[in-house]
Amino acid sequence: MPSTLLINPSQPDPAVYPRACEPLEEVGAAEPADAAAALAFALERLTGAEDSRPWLLATTPMWLRERGRPFARGMERFAPGRLIWVRAEKEAAALWALEEALKSGAVAGGLGCVEQPAFVTTRRLEFAARAGGARGVLLRAGPVSDLSAARRRWRIGAAPSGQAAFDAAAPGPARIRAELVRRRDGPPGCWELEQDNETGRFGVVAGLAGHGLDASGPAPAGRHAAA
Amino acid sequence: MRPDRRRPGDTPPPEGVFAGAPFALIDKAGAHGLTLSALNEPARAAGLYRGQAHADACAILPALISAPAEPERDLAMLRRLALWAERFSPSVTVDARVPGYEGLLLDMTGGAHLFGGEAALLAEIRTRLAAADIPARVAMADTPAAAWALARFTASPDPIAAAGRTREALAGLPVEGLRLEPQVLTLLKRFGLKRIGDLYNLPRAGLDRRFRGEAGQRVVERLDQALGVLNEAMTPERPPPLYRLWTPFAEPVIDIPGVEFHLPRLARGLADQLTRAGQGARRLSLTGFRVDGRVTRIEAGLSAPSAAPEHMLRLLKEKGLEALDLGFGIDALMLNADLAEAVGAKQGDIQSAAAGKRRNEPLPPCGEGVGDGGADAALWGFTRPDNPNRQRLTPTPNPSPQGGGEWRPAPSSGEAADLIDRLQAKLGDSAVLRPQTRESWIPERSETWVPATPEAADLDIAKDRPRPILLLERPEQIQTLAGVPDSAPAHFTWRRVVRRVIKAEGPERLSAEWWRADPNAARPARTRDYYRVEDDKGRRYWLFREGLYDREDIQIDAETKAEIDRPPTWWMHGVFA
């Protein structure tokens, strides 16, 4: 874990908030066991904007076997009613469906759970997302450093949860460590995010207060770390 | 109704080696041993007949070549031929009611003129079948029963009973033409009633009473059906399509590009038909009629009714025209809308158009013809992002300081429907899904995935029950170490990794749904206690303990009680974010 240091607490980096999602971003789990945390963060990026169009999730059988299937009752905060789940047999088919969906302008965003997209494929996805006014997120199995056209690459790990409201022994609001490994428009960074119990949105954990922050706008305080 | 019937005559001998030699198919299922079920012309000329014992036939004609009959394959072949016959009529019925007299029944009402008249139609059917090596007899009459009799019991090759003259046409035919049981036929002949015409002048009440049971009634009924007094129901092989367009080719089309060339015209024609009726297709099928008497077809479903020819074309192309097996070429192509629904004109959604404006993703560059300040709508320049897929474009002013507006797609269910159709056409209906909640508290039963629809699903999700974001397809057993038997574990091993539990919440007790007991289940369902636990790395899991320590609260017989009362086991069921 990179060293964390508090800089410019009054203005956290807007890249953390899903409103600033680029046409194509890549989210990887820090470790294979962090798949659920990475998925939640990816869904947050995807469904963060106000958009009434459906969103698409494309998976491969291997991904489902390894990590389980999406459970709509657990995705309540990510508009599961508008979810279209493409259960592709091959990775190529999943990527094709993702590209078609992004390009069509019919979806707000598409999430592809893939292992090894080629650089050309990611480039195509980015163009498709721009053309369709959608946001695309690639969910990678682990931390990877291959070529990609994604504007931002995140590495997501689980973090010990916050304080539960009424029961000290119970898991509190979910926290994740979001590391922005590579980006085009600024320096990389690392933040600890907490899921708000009410809205289900991730916000930067305030240094002292221990409360989640509203994700809809810049938070008054935040921790920003240089990797 | 002017249906016509044809009957594929005798099954030709296999391999063609026996052409000219007496040949018969043997039915082994008969009560009196082996009997002949079908024979060719030389065998019949030697005096053999259908239903004769095989031993007798061999005694008369020792050179008789025989093979076992396969009625199922005959029927399958007849069904295939029925699909081929759809080139003449959308309503084709396979008639296999009387063994040995199988045939096809085409409803040609109002359709014969398309083929140059009735005589030309019959000749064409016979020629085309002959080209595919199927000897056939074809007839046309006002009623199915009359056509049935004419096709089987006349000497001329293509008998036609002129409209309204069925009575005269049938008068000379033998009573076998009425499709009666053998006992009734025997009795009729004993009475000296050998021709159908002999029955015309008999008093009907007396005719009915002459026979025992319902046989007399059947004679009258069949006669009425043949003469058109009584209606006869026909069950087509496939339900007639609602809308169809058909185009024959002068020369057979032998490759896929040829099909692609003709397809747009068909799609436009079908779309015209649909639009005129205010309908949209929900299921399309493209059928190619091959020169060898077979058909090849592809189908595509639509998630919402559509009458847009471009959409139909794209769907069929993505379904894969390559799947059409053209063989030696096809001489006709047919596009059907097998299922259609009314299309209601839809008003654009003003709210979502406004929401689209607020969308904050990076935008394609705005137009050059930009007004200053963007306050005056008349000055806004509208450019269209280079995206051919957009059908519905709504101008949305962009009140950005740079001014300029851009065309934004109005989020409509139409675009979503197009997308879902295309994904489903390529990947299959069961691969493009949306969630649906069900009334059950067992997690794996509480939601199902159904084929996607453009409309957002209305999900009934309780907010106060935390549920994992990923659910394992089937729970995985874990090894646990618990401080107290009836609490969350202190350690557990899942997928060979030991995890130390730091925080835990639970239990949430979910009883087995005894009213849904599955008799085929390996074990009876037991009560589950779900725990939400967090390990020292901050990962959150959903575990459950199956079974209770003291006793289950369901009443069952003693036999399964031992099974129910076995020690509880621990399972991993899902992972939280």
What pLDDT, on a 0 to 100 scale, did the predictor assign at position A130?
Answer: 93
What pLDDT, on a 0 to 100 scale, did the predictor assign at position B269?
Answer: 92
Distance (Å, whole) CA B465 – CA B470 = 15
ipTM for the complex shown? 0.86
pLDDT digits (tens, 9 = 90+) for B338-388: 888 888 665 555 554 554 444 444 434 433 333 333 333 333 333 333 334
What pLDDT, on a 0 to 100 scale, did the predictor assign at position B541?
Answer: 94
* Mean pLDDT of all residues belonging to chain B: 79
Say yes or no to pLDDT of A204 above 90. Answer: no
Say yes or no to pLDDT of B553 above 90. Answer: no
- Contact of A198 with chain B, judged by CB distance below 8 Å, is answered with no
Could you tell me the pLDDT band of residue B413, with boundaries at 50, 70 and 90? Answer: low
What pLDDT, on a 0 to 100 scale, did the predictor assign at position B28?
Answer: 81
Phi, psi of B313 (to 5 degrees): -60, -45
- Residue B81 vs residues B8, B12, B75, B185: alpha-carbon distances, Å: 10, 16, 10, 31
Count the alpha carbons within 13 Å of B76 in the hemisphere toward its beta carbon. 4
Of B415, B497, B540, the CB nearest to A106: B415
Top residue of A24, A34, A46, A73 to mutate, by most chain B CBs within 10 Å, is A73
What pLDDT, on a 0 to 100 scale, did the predictor assign at position B470?
Answer: 93
- Contact of B55 with chain A, judged by CB distance below 8 Å, is answered with no
Q: pTM for the whole thing?
A: 0.63
**The length of chain A, given as a count of residues:** 227
The residue whose two tokens read 């259908």 is B50
Share of chain A above pLDDT 90, in %: 39
Could you tell me the pLDDT band of residue A77, with boundaries at 50, 70 and 90? Answer: confident
Of A65, A73, A85, the CB nearest to B467: A73
Distance from CA of A103 to the nearest CA of B (A): 8
Alpha helix ranges (H) inside B495-564: 558-564
Share of chain B above pLDDT 70, in %: 81
How does strand A55-59 pair with strand A152-159?
unpaired
Question: Which 173-192 residues of chain A touch chain B by CB within 8 A?
Answer: 174-176
Give the alpha-carbon dihedral of B32, B15, B101, B56, to 10 degrees.
-30
Closest-CA residue of chain A to B577: A37
Beta-carbon separation of B387 and A65 below 8 A: no
What pLDDT, on a 0 to 100 scale, did the predictor assign at position A114?
Answer: 87
> Which of A187-201, B80-94, B114-128, B251-265 has the weakest average pLDDT?
A187-201
Token digits of residue A109: 């965003």
Of B361, B443, B449, the CB nearest to A85: B449
3-class secondary structure for B394-429?
A: EEECCCCCCCCCEEEECCCHHHHHHHHHHHHHHHCH
In angstroms, what is the C-alpha Rg of chain B? 36
Could you tell me the pLDDT band of residue A107, with boundaries at 50, 70 and 90? Answer: very high
Beta-carbon separation of A84 and B433 below 8 A: yes
Contacts of A97 (CB under 8 A, 6+ apart): A56, A58, A86, A88, B423, B426, B427, B432
Token digits of residue B552: 């289950």
pLDDT digits (tens, 9 = 90+) for B294-350: 889 898 888 888 888 999 998 898 888 888 888 889 989 999 998 888 886 655 555
B462 interaction partners in chain A (CB closer than 8 Å):
73
Position B258: which residue type?
Answer: G
Contacts of B72 (CB under 8 A, 6+ apart): none
- Is the CB of residue A157 less than 8 Å from the CB of residue A177? yes
What pLDDT, on a 0 to 100 scale, did the predictor assign at position A210?
Answer: 43
Question: Which 355-414 residues of chain B touch chain A by CB within 8 A?
Answer: 355-356, 358-364, 385-387, 389-390, 408-409, 411
Mean pLDDT of B37-57: 86
- Contact of A35 with chain B, judged by CB distance below 8 Å, is answered with yes
- Contact of A104 with chain B, judged by CB distance below 8 Å, is answered with yes
Looking at the DSSP assignment, which residues form a beta bridge with residue B451?
Answer: B433
- Is the CB of residue B256 less than 8 Å from the CB of residue B327? no
What pLDDT, on a 0 to 100 scale, did the predictor assign at position B293?
Answer: 80
- Is the CB of residue A97 less than 8 Å from the CB of residue A56? yes
Say yes or no to pLDDT of B171 above 60. Answer: yes
The residue whose two tokens read 């798949």 is A35
Of B387, B420, B457, the CB nearest to A81: B457
3-state secondary structure of B465: coil
The residue whose two tokens read 């999700």 is B461
What pLDDT, on a 0 to 100 scale, did the predictor assign at position B539?
Answer: 93
Could you tell me the pLDDT band of residue B155, with boundaries at 50, 70 and 90? Answer: confident
Mean pLDDT of B195-221: 81
Distance from CA of B540 to the nearest CA of A (A): 8
pLDDT digits (tens, 9 = 90+) for B439-465: 888 888 889 999 888 888 888 888 778
- Contact of A82 with chain B, judged by CB distance below 8 Å, is answered with yes
What pLDDT, on a 0 to 100 scale, did the predictor assign at position A14?
Answer: 75
Distance (Å, whole) CA B65 – CA B211 = 41
Distance (Å, whole) CA A101 – CA B420 = 9
* Mean pLDDT of all residues belonging to chain A: 82
What pLDDT, on a 0 to 100 scale, did the predictor assign at position B428?
Answer: 85
What pLDDT, on a 0 to 100 scale, did the predictor assign at position B560?
Answer: 64
Closest-CA residue of chain A to B460: A73
In angstroms, what is the C-alpha Rg of chain A? 17
DSSP H or E run through A36 = helix A35-47
Could you tell me the pLDDT band of residue B394, with boundaries at 50, 70 and 90? Answer: very low
> Which of B103-107, B150-154, B513-517 has the weakest average pLDDT?
B513-517
Contacts of A114 (CB under 8 A, 6+ apart): A58, A60, A63, A91, A94, A95, A138, A139, A140
- Contact of B501 with chain A, judged by CB distance below 8 Å, is answered with no
More confident residue, B203 or A3: B203
A84 interaction partners in chain B (CB closer than 8 Å):
420, 423, 432-434, 452
Mean pLDDT of B230-245: 83
Count the alpha carbons within 13 Å of B419 in the hemisphere toward its beta carbon. 37
Distance from CA of B64 to the nearest CA of A (A): 56
What pLDDT, on a 0 to 100 scale, did the predictor assign at position A21?
Answer: 81
- Is the CB of residue A161 less than 8 Å from the CB of residue B540? yes
* Cβ-count burial B96-113 (b if 16+ within 10 Å, e if not): eeeeebbbbbbbbeeebe
Looking at the DSSP assignment, which residues form a beta bridge with residue B541?
Answer: B533, B575
3-state secondary structure of A154: strand
Share of chain B above pLDDT 90, in %: 18
- Residue B196 vs residues B130, B170, B186, B542: alpha-carbon distances, Å: 31, 6, 14, 81
Mean pLDDT of B481-492: 85
3-state secondary structure of B371: coil
- Is the CB of residue B104 less than 8 Å from the CB of residue B78? yes
What pLDDT, on a 0 to 100 scale, did the predictor assign at position B392?
Answer: 38
Distance (Å, whole) CA B458 – CA B435 = 9
**Nearest Cα to Cα of residue B177 among B185, B303, A145:** B185
- Is the CB of residue B249 less than 8 Å from the CB of residue B261? no
Beta-carbon separation of A64 and B473 below 8 A: yes
Long-range contacts of A194-198 (CB under 8 A, 24+ apart): A194/A162, A195/A40, A195/B577, A197/A165, A197/A173
Would you give the distance in Å from CA B177 to the centre of its chain? 36
What pLDDT, on a 0 to 100 scale, did the predictor assign at position B9?
Answer: 43
What pLDDT, on a 0 to 100 scale, did the predictor assign at position A101?
Answer: 93
- Is the CB of residue B35 less than 8 Å from the CB of residue B139? no
**Nearest Cα to Cα of residue A73 among B439, B508, B455:** B439
B461 interaction partners in chain A (CB closer than 8 Å):
72-73, 76, 80
Beta-carbon separation of A70 and B470 below 8 A: yes
Position A42: which residue type?
Answer: A
Mean pLDDT of B487-505: 91
Contacts of B511 (CB under 8 A, 6+ apart): B527, B553, B554
Could you tell me the pLDDT band of residue B96, with boundaries at 50, 70 and 90? Answer: confident
Mean pLDDT of B388-396: 38
- Contact of B476 with chain A, judged by CB distance below 8 Å, is answered with no
The residue whose two tokens read 């509208």 is B382
Task: Judge if the upstream peptide bond of residue B507 is cis by omega within 30 degrees of 0.
Answer: yes
Q: What is the sign, positive or negative, of the torsion defined by CA atoms of A180, A181, A185, A189?
A: positive
pLDDT digits (tens, 9 = 90+) for A125-183: 999 999 999 999 999 876 667 888 888 999 999 999 988 888 888 998 899 999 888 88
Beta-carbon separation of A50 and B355 below 8 A: yes
Closest-CA residue of chain B to A102: B419
What pLDDT, on a 0 to 100 scale, did the predictor assign at position B261?
Answer: 92
3-state secondary structure of A108: coil
The count of CB pairs under 8 A between chains A and B is 236
